[in-house]
Amino acid sequence: MTLKEYIYQRLRDNTTLHTLLSKSALPYGVYFMNPPESPDFPIITYFINAQAGRLPRDIPFMITAWGDNYEAIQDRIYTLLHNQMTEVTDYKTLFLKWDWASPEMWDDNYKVYFRQDRFLAKGIKI
């Protein structure tokens, strides 16, 4: 399982997030990079910055919670990902940690509040 797949699986398979997102079927409101064309809010999107080279490094990834309950969603994501050790196929052992949160923001196109949180995965690219 790659880092991208690991993050998706952790978010997709959590029943508390299903409740917060009001979703009961795949993809459970979790999307890579961009929301779908006509999203049913609340949803989560995530993006991983590409990293190369074998040196130990921080791999930043952003998780955005969209909807009126974005804070509760981000709190749950923090519980799922902060201070976690994981094994994935594209990096040697990774340590995940929360790093930063944006202020509350408003999307004029979707007419919805959202917040981005940045996490860091520390590891070595395989």
pTM of the full structure: 0.92
pLDDT tens-place string over residues 13-49 = 999 999 999 998 888 999 999 999 899 999 999 999 8
> 54 pLDDT exceeds 80?
no
> 67 pLDDT exceeds 70?
yes
> How many of the other CB atoms lie within 10 Å of CB of 57?
16
52 — pLDDT class (breaks 50, 70, 90): low
Report the distance separating Cα 79 and Cα 118, nearest Å.
14
Report the distance separating Cα 69 and Cα 20, nearest Å.
8
Work out the mean pLDDT of the chain and round it to a whole number: 92
Q: What is the reported pLDDT for 124?
A: 82
Domains of the chain in start order, with CATH, are: 3-123 (3.30.2000.20)
